[in-house]
Amino acid sequence: MSRQLQNHARRLLGECGVHVGGDAPTDIHVTNEGLYGRVLRQGSIGLGESYMDGWWDTADLDGFLYRLLTARLDERVRGLSHVATYCRAALFNLQRQSRAFQVGQRHYDLGNDLYRAMLDPRMVYSCGYWEYANSLADAQEGKLELVFEKLRLRGGERILDVGCGWGGALKFAAERYGACGTGVTISPPQAEYAQASCRGLPVEIRVQDYREPLGTFDHIYSIGMFEHVGSKNYRRFMECMRASLSRKGRFLLHSIGAPSSRNHTDPWIEKYIFPNSMIPSASQITQAIEGLFTIDGWQRIGDHYVPTLLAWRANFERAWPTLRAKYDERFYRMWRFYLSASAAMFRAHRLDVWQALLSPVTR
């Protein structure tokens, strides 16, 4: 049976232009023959975990994964983990308020040292904008300019950053535009870093869920946080944003987007990277804003995420000698797989990034 599984797996890989033991950068080299059955039974969980365990390797990890994705091999080899993930998401509200802090504990609280090494100097953990950029730092500054120019931000205006991370966007808005900002995050280490970074500026950082009282603001933006809200809570999220926005204000939603509606994320991503996450579709967003907001603009910038992710991976790999005392080799391979698989998803146009500029419906 194991020989049959191996032959079947090799045929599937061959359809993607991938060969076991070949010389091409996207070919793979297998060190444990149990790989084939593990992946055929478990899908993405088996593929990601076997890479973490060192069962296989490739010179071009994101290129290899891109070949699998463009051949839609992930849809043909799903495994039971996809069924379990779908059922859990269908039966339960995995992003309810009592679970809101889990993604912070599992991902964003990993260590500011890790993110300082990986990200740009502003510590912006979202897709950059490379239209006029030659570096990661320039790309992130370009993205922030894009956001605040769309909001038409002016000095003295009060802004709310929902999912403010390490405070890079708020600091930029206060220094460059003279805005007064409030940021909310579910990660205490992020909040501590943001408070120190923004010291002396008119910026307040809170550790809280978006469903708690926020206040009223001239403009609101959310960059890379909506992916943690979940379809059962999209309407509630939009209602909270509308209640916190002035009548003449604007709300900019920057989010990863999927081409079709779903209720769950990839099982490997769910288990190891972003628990309780979910990528929205355009129809899910537009349904959630009905009667609350009108769309003033919708821009897709997903192609810009590929160089962003590859820059993060290069920074991570360069910093690994200083990080390995705290993070083990399995973490190193897990993190490389996460960044490489994400780059492959955007390169294959299986994911996108949208900036939706919204204005409140007045009654």
- Model confidence over 65-92: pLDDT tens digits? 999 999 998 887 765 444 445 444 444 4
Residues 120 and 68 grouped into a single domain? no
Tell me, what DSSP letter sits at residue 362? Answer: P
Q: Which of 40-44, 56-60, 111-115, 196-200 bottoms out in mean pLDDT, i.e. has the lowest?
A: 40-44
DSSP secondary structure, 123-157, as one string: ---S----TT-SSHHHHHHHHHHHHHHHTT--TT-
Confidence check: pLDDT of 102 > 70 = no
Residue that finishes a domain, picked among 47, 78, 109: 78
Residues 36 and 122 grouped into a single domain? no
Residues 42 and 191 grouped into a single domain? no
Residues 28 and 158 grouped into a single domain? no
Residue range(s) defining the domain that contains residue 263 = 97-360
Confidence check: pLDDT of 244 > 80 = yes
Residue 284 sits in a domain whose CATH number is: 3.40.50.150
Please identify which residue in the block is written with the tokens 């038409």: 152
Residue that finishes a domain, picked among 46, 78, 110: 78
Instruction: Say how far apart CA 361 and CA 47 lie, in whole Å.
Output: 46
Residues 132 and 18 grouped into a single domain? no
> Is 84 inside a domain boundary?
no
> Is 85 inside a domain boundary?
no
- With bands split at pLDDT 50, 70 and 90, how would you rate the model's confidence at 95? low
What pLDDT, on the 0 to 100 scale, is given for residue 111? 87
Give the pLDDT mean for 271-287.
92
Instruction: Say how far apart CA 96 and CA 211 lie, in whole Å.
Output: 10
Residues 71 and 131 grouped into a single domain? no
Residues 232 and 277 grouped into a single domain? yes
> Is 89 inside a domain boundary?
no
Q: Which of 110-114, 192-196, 235-239 bottoms out in mean pLDDT, i.e. has the lowest?
A: 110-114
Number of domains in the chain: 2
What pLDDT, on the 0 to 100 scale, is given for residue 200? 97
> Is 73 inside a domain boundary?
yes
Sign of the Cα pseudo-torsion (165, 169, 172, 173, in order): negative
- With bands split at pLDDT 50, 70 and 90, how would you rate the model's confidence at 319? very high
Task: Pick the closest to residue 351 from 314, 296, 308 (CA basis).
Answer: 308
Q: Which of 9-13, 196-200, 221-225 bottoms out in mean pLDDT, i.e. has the lowest?
A: 9-13
- Model confidence over 203-214: pLDDT tens digits? 999 999 999 999
Q: How many Cβ atoms sit within 10 Å of the Cβ of residue 361?
A: 12
Residues 15 and 115 grouped into a single domain? no
- Model confidence over 249-274: pLDDT tens digits? 999 999 999 999 886 678 899 899 98
> Is 160 inside a domain boundary?
yes
Residues 240 and 152 grouped into a single domain? yes
What pLDDT, on the 0 to 100 scale, is given for residue 104? 57
> Is 324 inside a domain boundary?
yes
What pLDDT, on the 0 to 100 scale, is given for residue 88? 47
Residues 164 and 292 grouped into a single domain? yes
Residues 172 and 290 grouped into a single domain? yes
Residues 294 and 156 grouped into a single domain? yes
How many H-runs (helices) and E-runs (strands) does the chain carry?
Answer: 16, 9
Confidence check: pLDDT of 100 > 60 = no
Give the pLDDT mean for 98-102.
55
Averaged pLDDT score across all residues of the chain: 91
Residue that finishes a domain, picked among 45, 78, 111: 78
- Model confidence over 32-61: pLDDT tens digits? 999 998 998 888 999 999 999 999 999 999
Alpha carbon 319 to its chain centroid, in Å, reads 21
What pLDDT, on the 0 to 100 scale, is given for residue 107? 78
Query: Which residues, at least 6 apart from 224, have a Cβ–Cβ distance to it below 8 Å?
Result: 125, 126, 127, 163, 165, 254, 255, 256
- With bands split at pLDDT 50, 70 and 90, how would you rate the model's confidence at 362? confident
